Structure 1
Amino acid sequence: MDANIRPSVRQAKRNAEAQLVFAGRGITDSALGINDYAGLDARGKIVVVLAGAPKGLASDVASHLRGSKEEAALNAGAIGLIELPVPGTQSSRPLRLTAKAPRVDLVPKPGSRAYRRVDLELAVSKAIGARLFAGSGHSVDELTKLAQKGERLPTFNLTGSLAIEAESKWEDFSSPQVIGKLAGADQRLSAEHIVLMGHLDHIGIEADPKPGQDRINNGALDNASGIATMLEAARHFTTSGTPPKRSLMFVANTGEEKGLLGADYFSENPTVPASSIVGLVNLDMPLLLYPFSDVIAFGAEHSTIASIAATAAASMNVKIAPDPMPGEGLFVRSDHYRFVERGVPSIFLMTGYASGGEAQWKKFLSTNYHKPSDDLKQGIDWIAAARFADLNYRIARALADAPQRPLWYSGSYFGNRFAPTQPKAPR
């Protein structure tokens, strides 16, 4: 296949022809002084960009920027986006040249995040990508080498245009989420909500299993372990005899594996006032296979949830460890991030690398992740599972009972980007 276009949930048939422009990496961020569209007229055109983000940025910031290219193209007035791969460089674009399954997406409401999409998003083959630069005085190989060196990329008009004719066929279905609420007892603080969240979906059934192989991708650790942890923390609250001061919400999301769709929908259509959601802890794929002694709190460096989580962990002789996989950009890749984008301080908790955890993580990711073998035969450490649930209960309890709601730290990129008017806490 030479090209693949993302199906549209707004237009059944699309016919368009547009000029092409090259916008470097296709990133804009005024706080960082980046504007790849400066001096470039992209209105009504299809933008061609290279994968990746500038070097030297924090990994979570770079991951955010890699995922913001469509928004940047929209803000520049473009109608289409083509991202060309760069070897050794991560891409946050979900579109691939070969699509093995139908795309799942939200039915957008006008004005919603899901509605703000370029009309045309394409993936193209290496040969087609090279042809886009014919007559421009530049080549894909030249620009790719500049990107790999971390050098600034030129931006310029391309000489050609692209004509597109596409038809999308739709099949509607729903995928319910499960939401529980425990009302707070404090007359003032009960109007605020702390959210514990995990995703209940996985990746379905293997289309072509090996003879005798289990066809079901069971998802025991991704993410039944997170859902079980959330439920056990909820049970702790209901049996503790002491109601929380703030209200708590327990949210089991769907559609995480399809692009954080359930979290996206709920964050935009919450069942409580959006401004009342003041903090969130996301539980996605804790590896409950060993007696963990540390946990990773992705995003902890951005808000006061960090100190609350550290205190709760210390009460159990557990440490908060730094991100051992910074290149993965995990802070922006799970459900909590849809709330971060709406200004809610959030962390994402997983078991850490200490006490044999590193070997267990590497084995799981290479052997069982997103495979039918992610099942109960892996040897779940039930004592560790109970301890992880207890830890999350303690974190949620501290967040619910603290006199001050969680605050973004001063200088946090994400706090400044998504909650510029909220009060900030000194580090």
Structure 2
Amino acid sequence: MRYLIPAFLCFGLLLTGCENSSDSSTVLDEDTRAWWDLTTELSSDEMEGRDTGSPGFVKAAEVVAKAFAEAGLQPLGDQGSWFQEVAMEETEITQASVTVGGRELRFLYDVYASPGNVTESVEAPMIYCGYCDSASLGEVKNKLVICHGTRKEGLPSDADRIKTLTEAGALGMILIADPGFTVEPPRWPFAYSRSVSLAGSTPTPPSLLNFRLNADALGKVLEGSGQNANELIDLGSQGNPLPTFELTDSFKASFTTMQRTLNSPNILALLPGTDPALANQAIVLTAHLDGYGYGEPVDGDSLYNGTLDDAAYVALIVQLAKRQNGEGFKRPLIFAIVTGEEKGLLGSRYLVQNLPVPKEHIAANINLDQLRPIFPLNLMTVHALDETTLGDDAAAVAASMQIKVQNDPEPERGLIRRSDHWNFIQAGIPAINFVFGFEPGSESERIYRQWYREGYHTPKDDLQQKIDWEAAAKFNQFFYGLVERVASSAQAPAWKPGSKLRPEVPAN
């Protein structure tokens, strides 16, 4: 293979000059420098965080389309363009007032709600019911029920809680975001409250009002109740038994919402294959261009640049196109830079429903998201590793680079369902996605956990964060090698017998 070992200028070292991304141009090999230069452009302040449908997103999409043209790709969008327009409908909470017994809860900081899960105003009594399993419910009819949102095995899931409360006639749920879920701690503040759907779709109405409560604000809610909020949070975080009790204070909230229609494009391009016999076995490469845009400030910064999530991996797909410079592999490559991932995987859902070629001509999807090149790459989580032959391909390329692969060690996070490959899997198309792995208790784990506490979906995911350049470049080379292997193999990617993810084919 051509793409396995790069000639790093600082390979094996993270020099002082490599610590900040702004220094990368003086220390990186040519390919990695070109990748980071485009990452820098796509996640600069000028792009305003690339919020779905925003002027910044459109500007970034034009940069990507221009780069595809310069790389010798063919446009595959609407009417011969680079763009597949995706119409969406958005509802945003623009103003919120939330109080408990007259005490203010700061919206987005102490309490959160999606506009799709609330009404214009609500006033109701409250009851605390521990984990909200059926055995711990008191009289909940027409009340807002406070539940500790643990994800521990043997305790109710969110779906279990909603089902139990709905059947019991509760008005809604106030879910305490569990600080004990340390694999991905709750993130506060939320950037904003927006609900977005594809135009023409009919979202399922919620069975309950649904609020999310910052654990640090439980004391405000329970003030005067005689209950110790800190003790309850401690017990809940450990999965220990919790009490059930009524609250004397009422919950009161009002919301102002705004609706608008959005048009935000996917960017689609084609690199034709060289083998006519494989022309109907296209490999789709995806990454999402959208980010959060402007939102609630963190440490005074309100711009969510989205450098690693996911500008860097849009840039990597573009860099692959530039490396090929119009030279195809045996199979065609479809380059799909999608919109609306952060709003619910909307761009990829629309793409799968409106493919530019017949669905049966799509052999596989390789998705780039959830990648954090901030510590050494010696271990890699591969989503759907054992489900399709793509996992075998990934394992083979990784082994040639001394990278071990593993299944997701934290399935409770649901990462496999949280990026664009999931829509391809649901459509029956073999797909794969990657996460930098780490050994439990290692320094790499510490760095990873810290990023999810401080960087994930915050303004700190920007160009100033520390990058492990060797790890970043190593993954880039892995990606190039994987694409070449999959696109040039004699056998098309396929589901493995007994796959648990492959959708069942309806009987004739």
Please state if 1:6 is matched with 2:116: no
1:419 maps to what in 2?
503
2:210 maps to what in 1?
121
Please tell me the residue identity of whatever aligns with 1:295: M
| Residues 90, 81 of structure 1: alpha-carbon distance in 2 compared, 3 angstrom cutoff | farther
1:195 maps to what in 2?
284
Please tell me the residue identity of whatever aligns with 1:170: Q
Please tell me the residue identity of whatever aligns with 2:434: L
> Residue 375 of structure 1 aligns to a residue in which SS?
coil
Partners in 2 of 1:153 and 1:345 — Cα distance?
44
Please tell me the residue identity of whatever aligns with 1:226: Y
Please state if 1:233 is matched with 2:331: no
1:309 shift after superposition: 0.7
**Pairing partner for 2:420 from 313, 325, 335:** 335
User: Any conservation in 1 of the 2:285–2:365 contact (CA below 8 Å)?
Assistant: yes
Partners in 1 of 2:340 and 2:258 — Cα distance?
20
1:136 maps to what in 2?
none
Cα-Cα RMSD: 5.7
| Residues 22, 232 of structure 1: alpha-carbon distance in 2 compared, 3 angstrom cutoff | same
> Residue 367 of structure 2 aligns to a residue in which SS?
strand
Partners in 2 of 1:215 and 1:15 — Cα distance?
28
Partners in 2 of 1:402 and 1:236 — Cα distance?
23
2:269 maps to what in 1?
180
Higher relative contact order, chain-length normalized (CA < 8 Å, sep 6+): 2
Please tell me the residue identity of whatever aligns with 2:494: P
User: Any conservation in 2 of the 1:236–1:393 contact (CA below 8 Å)?
Assistant: no
Please state if 1:347 is matched with 2:432: yes
User: Any conservation in 1 of the 2:289–2:311 contact (CA below 8 Å)?
Assistant: yes
| Residues 197, 187 of structure 1: alpha-carbon distance in 2 compared, 3 angstrom cutoff | same
Please state if 1:104 is matched with 2:189: no
Please tell me the residue identity of whatever aligns with 1:249: I
- Count of matched residue pairs: 392
Please state if 1:399 is matched with 2:497: no
| Residues 371, 93 of structure 1: alpha-carbon distance in 2 compared, 3 angstrom cutoff | closer
User: Any conservation in 2 of the 1:9–1:108 contact (CA below 8 Å)?
Assistant: no
Structure 2, unaligned runs of 5 or more: 1-103
Correspondence 1:249-260 to 2 at 5 A: 249-260=334-345
Please tell me the residue identity of whatever aligns with 1:51: G
User: Any conservation in 1 of the 2:272–2:328 contact (CA below 8 Å)?
Assistant: no
1:51 shift after superposition: 1.6
Please state if 1:319 is matched with 2:411: no
Correspondence 1:53-92 to 2 at 5 A: 53-55=151-153, 66=158, 81-89=173-181
1:375 maps to what in 2?
463
Partners in 2 of 1:71 and 1:189 — Cα distance?
48
Structure 1, unaligned runs of 5 or more: 28-35, 134-138
Partners in 2 of 1:207 and 1:46 — Cα distance?
27
1:55 shift after superposition: 0.8
Please tell me the residue identity of whatever aligns with 1:313: A
User: Any conservation in 2 of the 1:51–1:66 contact (CA below 8 Å)?
Assistant: yes
Partners in 2 of 1:377 and 1:94 — Cα distance?
21
User: Any conservation in 2 of the 1:192–1:278 contact (CA below 8 Å)?
Assistant: yes
Partners in 2 of 1:363 and 1:349 — Cα distance?
17
1:314 shift after superposition: 2.7
Partners in 2 of 1:385 and 1:17 — Cα distance?
51
Partners in 2 of 1:329 and 1:46 — Cα distance?
27
Partners in 1 of 2:338 and 2:253 — Cα distance?
36
**Pairing partner for 1:52 from 150, 153, 163:** 150
User: Any conservation in 2 of the 1:83–1:122 contact (CA below 8 Å)?
Assistant: yes
Partners in 2 of 1:228 and 1:397 — Cα distance?
18
| Residues 189, 419 of structure 1: alpha-carbon distance in 2 compared, 3 angstrom cutoff | farther
| Residues 309, 278 of structure 1: alpha-carbon distance in 2 compared, 3 angstrom cutoff | same
| Residues 295, 78 of structure 1: alpha-carbon distance in 2 compared, 3 angstrom cutoff | same
- Structure number, greater radius of gyration: 2
Partners in 1 of 2:282 and 2:121 — Cα distance?
46
Aligned residues with identical type, % of pairs: 26
1:252 shift after superposition: 1.9
| Residues 319, 205 of structure 1: alpha-carbon distance in 2 compared, 3 angstrom cutoff | same
Correspondence 1:140-289 to 2 at 5 A: 166-184=255-273, 190-204=279-293, 217-236=304-323, 239-244=326-331, 247-273=332-358, 277-284=362-369, 286-288=371-373
